[in-house]
Amino acid sequence: MSKKFGFLLSLALLTAAFGAPARADENPPVSSNAEFTAPALFKNHLTIDGESIGTSGRSWVQPSGNFKSYRVYVSNTGSDDVTVTVTKDGTAVGGSYKIPAGGDKQWVNNSAEPGATYTLGFTSKSGPVSGTVSVRVSEERLS
């Protein structure tokens, strides 16, 4: 009897000292920062990230699926105004945007066509242009 009591006492002390074993049915803790979950990472992203505007323009393919929005940001570091023209699959869409010398501008299109190729053309009165452009594509409406 004393051997059983000693064994049970030892087992109780070991359990108390090292904690109870984890239950297999418990869920691991979940991060409360939903921004870094895989689905959130792919809802929007920069498809053009701070590239030089140049006179040859910049193009991107609007991702397929629900990517119906994009935001364009252009910074004009030149000494002349720059006119930006948007085309979709070679056809002008959305008009043109004038960015003053040393200025910047952004605009949004929430009715983009997934799978289409969009091109930004850059012109100025003097010819050469300088600055940067970024384009964010999104599955959610942008503002």
Q: What is the CATH number of the domain that holds 69?
A: 2.60.120.40
Please provide residue 26's backbone torsions phi and psi, each rounded to the nearest 5 degrees: -80, 140
- 4 found inside a domain: no
Average pLDDT over residues 28-52: 61
Domain count, the chain: 1
pLDDT tens digit string along 85-100? 999 998 999 789 999 9
Contact 69, 139 (CB under 8 A): yes
pLDDT tens digit string along 59-116? 999 999 999 999 999 999 999 999 999 999 989 997 899 999 999 999 999 999 999 9
- 24 found inside a domain: no
- 25 found inside a domain: no
21: number of Cβ within 10 Å: 7
Measure Cα distances from 89 to 54, 71, 93, 136, 139 in Å. 20, 18, 10, 18, 20
Predicted confidence at residue 127, as pLDDT, reads: 87
pLDDT over 60 (residue 38): no
Q: Mean pLDDT lowest for which of 9-23, 38-52, 85-99?
A: 9-23
Predicted confidence at residue 26, as pLDDT, reads: 44
Q: What value does the mean pLDDT of the chain take? A: 80
- 10 found inside a domain: no
120: β partners: 58, 86
Under the banding of pLDDT at 50, 70 and 90, the label for residue 22 is very low
- 86 found inside a domain: yes
Instruction: Provide the percentage of residues in the chain whose pLDDT is more than 70.
Output: 71
Whole-model pTM: value is 0.69
- 33 found inside a domain: no
Residues 6 or more apart whose Cβ sits within 8 Å of residue 138? 43, 44, 67, 69, 70, 71
62: number of Cβ within 10 Å: 21
Residue 57 belongs to domain spanning: 43-143
Average pLDDT over residues 1-10: 56
- 116 found inside a domain: yes
- 119 found inside a domain: yes
